Amino acid sequence: MPTDRTPIGVVLVALADPTRRLLLDTLAEAGLASATTLADRLPVSRQAVVKHLTVLENAGLVTGGRAGREVLYRVSPAPLTESAHWLADLAGRWERRLSAIKRAAETDDTD
Protein backbone atom coordinates (compact mmCIF):
# COMPACT_ATOMS: atom_id res chain seq x y z
CA MET A 1 0.00 0.00 0.00
CA PRO A 2 1.44 3.41 -0.87
CA THR A 3 2.23 5.90 1.86
CA ASP A 4 1.15 9.54 1.89
CA ARG A 5 4.43 10.40 0.23
CA THR A 6 5.07 7.70 -2.36
CA PRO A 7 8.69 7.95 -3.56
CA ILE A 8 8.88 9.77 -6.86
CA GLY A 9 11.04 6.98 -8.28
CA VAL A 10 8.17 4.51 -7.82
CA VAL A 11 5.83 6.88 -9.67
CA LEU A 12 8.30 7.40 -12.52
CA VAL A 13 8.89 3.65 -12.88
CA ALA A 14 5.13 3.08 -13.01
CA LEU A 15 4.78 5.76 -15.70
CA ALA A 16 7.72 4.45 -17.73
CA ASP A 17 5.57 1.76 -19.34
CA PRO A 18 3.49 3.01 -22.31
CA THR A 19 0.68 0.55 -21.58
CA ARG A 20 0.37 1.87 -18.03
CA ARG A 21 0.28 5.45 -19.31
CA LEU A 22 -2.48 4.48 -21.76
CA LEU A 23 -4.31 2.69 -18.95
CA LEU A 24 -4.02 5.75 -16.71
CA ASP A 25 -5.29 8.03 -19.51
CA THR A 26 -8.20 5.68 -20.20
CA LEU A 27 -9.09 5.48 -16.52
CA ALA A 28 -8.86 9.27 -16.14
CA GLU A 29 -11.29 9.65 -19.04
CA ALA A 30 -13.68 7.01 -17.66
CA GLY A 31 -13.54 8.34 -14.10
CA LEU A 32 -14.30 4.97 -12.54
CA ALA A 33 -13.88 1.55 -14.17
CA SER A 34 -13.30 -2.13 -13.51
CA ALA A 35 -10.38 -4.11 -14.92
CA THR A 36 -12.82 -5.82 -17.30
CA THR A 37 -14.12 -2.50 -18.62
CA LEU A 38 -10.58 -1.21 -19.07
CA ALA A 39 -9.50 -4.39 -20.87
CA ASP A 40 -12.39 -3.92 -23.31
CA ARG A 41 -11.01 -0.46 -24.17
CA LEU A 42 -7.32 -1.42 -24.42
CA PRO A 43 -5.34 -3.76 -26.67
CA VAL A 44 -4.31 -5.99 -23.73
CA SER A 45 -5.90 -8.84 -21.79
CA ARG A 46 -7.78 -8.42 -18.53
CA GLN A 47 -4.93 -10.22 -16.75
CA ALA A 48 -2.43 -7.71 -18.14
CA VAL A 49 -4.69 -4.84 -17.07
CA VAL A 50 -4.82 -6.24 -13.53
CA LYS A 51 -1.01 -6.51 -13.40
CA HIS A 52 -0.62 -2.94 -14.64
CA LEU A 53 -3.28 -1.67 -12.22
CA THR A 54 -1.35 -3.31 -9.37
CA VAL A 55 1.81 -1.40 -10.33
CA LEU A 56 -0.16 1.85 -10.63
CA GLU A 57 -1.88 1.19 -7.30
CA ASN A 58 1.45 0.47 -5.57
CA ALA A 59 2.69 3.83 -6.89
CA GLY A 60 -0.43 5.49 -5.49
CA LEU A 61 -1.60 6.56 -8.95
CA VAL A 62 -4.88 4.62 -8.79
CA THR A 63 -7.09 3.39 -5.99
CA GLY A 64 -9.48 0.49 -6.10
CA GLY A 65 -12.60 -0.18 -4.10
CA ARG A 66 -15.04 -3.07 -4.03
CA ALA A 67 -18.43 -2.61 -5.63
CA GLY A 68 -20.22 -5.92 -5.31
CA ARG A 69 -18.13 -8.56 -7.05
CA GLU A 70 -15.97 -6.06 -8.92
CA VAL A 71 -13.17 -3.75 -7.96
CA LEU A 72 -13.64 -0.29 -9.41
CA TYR A 73 -10.55 1.84 -9.97
CA ARG A 74 -10.10 5.60 -10.16
CA VAL A 75 -7.11 7.86 -10.71
CA SER A 76 -5.44 9.28 -7.62
CA PRO A 77 -3.61 12.40 -8.85
CA ALA A 78 -1.62 13.37 -5.72
CA PRO A 79 1.56 11.34 -6.50
CA LEU A 80 1.48 12.55 -10.10
CA THR A 81 1.15 16.16 -8.96
CA GLU A 82 4.02 15.74 -6.50
CA SER A 83 6.19 14.20 -9.23
CA ALA A 84 5.31 16.99 -11.67
CA HIS A 85 6.33 19.61 -9.09
CA TRP A 86 9.62 17.82 -8.48
CA LEU A 87 10.32 17.57 -12.23
CA ALA A 88 9.49 21.26 -12.74
CA ASP A 89 11.85 22.19 -9.89
CA LEU A 90 14.58 20.00 -11.38
CA ALA A 91 14.08 21.55 -14.82
CA GLY A 92 14.32 25.03 -13.30
CA ARG A 93 17.59 24.19 -11.55
CA TRP A 94 19.07 22.82 -14.78
CA GLU A 95 17.92 25.87 -16.74
CA ARG A 96 19.68 28.13 -14.23
CA ARG A 97 22.86 26.03 -14.41
CA LEU A 98 22.87 25.99 -18.20
CA SER A 99 22.25 29.74 -18.32
CA ALA A 100 25.21 30.29 -15.99
CA ILE A 101 27.42 28.11 -18.20
CA LYS A 102 26.26 30.00 -21.29
CA ARG A 103 27.00 33.36 -19.67
CA ALA A 104 30.44 32.14 -18.59
CA ALA A 105 31.20 30.87 -22.10
CA GLU A 106 30.05 34.13 -23.70
CA THR A 107 32.14 36.14 -21.22
CA ASP A 108 35.22 34.05 -22.07
CA ASP A 109 34.65 34.68 -25.80
CA THR A 110 34.78 38.46 -25.37
CA ASP A 111 38.13 38.49 -23.54
> Which pLDDT score, from 0 to 100, does residue 5 have?
60
* Cα separation, 28 vs 68, whole angstroms: 22
> Which pLDDT score, from 0 to 100, does residue 1 have?
41
| Residue 49 belongs to domain spanning | 8-110
Q: What rounded mean pLDDT belongs to the chain?
A: 91
Tally of structural domains, the chain: 1
In a domain, 37, yes or no: yes
Give per-residue pLDDT as tens, 35-67.
999 999 999 999 999 999 999 999 999 999 999
From the list 71, 77, 42, 41, the residue with the least C-alpha distance to 56 is 77
> Which pLDDT score, from 0 to 100, does residue 84 have?
87
CATH number of the domain encompassing residue 20: 1.10.10.10
- Nearest-Å Rg of the Cα atoms of the chain is 20
The one-letter amino acid at 49: V
In a domain, 19, yes or no: yes
Task: Check if the beta carbon of residue 32 is closer than 8 Å to that of residue 38.
Answer: no
More confident site: 56 or 98: 56
